[in-house]
């Protein structure tokens, strides 16, 4: 029962305690706060998006995360309606947060173990 409650609490934190933002400050080359156009970026723990991203993902599919705990900005600067998902399991399993293209989220990545980039 304790494991179920812990998992439910982690899921609730990952889904409810997020702040979203849209890409309004894109540069001429399509970069958004240092995140290249067409990529999904994760910034350092507690770091503002004015710092360079620590992780930049270009390819579709699942990407396992390592050493990502605490609160991070995640920006989806993909094109053509591509989505990114934050997933509690490795290899893109148990995804619980869907981020449309040109959106970002301030999220606790402690329970998140992978991120997926999905074609539209």
Which of 15, 33, 14 minimizes the C-alpha distance to 24?
Answer: 33
Per-residue pLDDT for 26 more than 60?
no
Q: Who wins on pLDDT, 48 or 7?
A: 48
pLDDT for 53-99, tens place per residue?
Answer: 999 999 999 999 999 999 999 999 999 999 999 999 999 999 999 99
Counting Cβ atoms within 10 Å, is residue 10 exposed (0-12), middle (13-18) or buried (19+)? Answer: middle
* Residues 115 and 76: beta-carbon distance below 8 Å: no
Q: Which tokens go with 82? A: 């591509």
* Residues 60 and 40: beta-carbon distance below 8 Å: no
């Amino acid at each position: 029962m304790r494991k179920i409650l812990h998992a439910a609490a982690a899921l609730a934190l990952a889904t409810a305690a997020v702040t979203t933002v849209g890409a309004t400050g894109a540069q001429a080359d399509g970069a958004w706060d240092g995140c290249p156009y067409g990529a999904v970026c994760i910034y350092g723990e507690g770091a503002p998006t004015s710092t360079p991203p620590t992780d930049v993902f270009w390819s579709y599919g699942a990407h396992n995360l390592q050493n990502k705990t605490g609160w991070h900005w995640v920006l989806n600067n993909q094109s053509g309606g591509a989505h990114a998902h934050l997933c509690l399991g490795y290899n893109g399993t148990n995804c619980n947060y869907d981020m449309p293209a040109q959106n970002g989220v301030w999220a606790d990545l402690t329970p998140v173990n992978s991120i997926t980039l999905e074609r539209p």
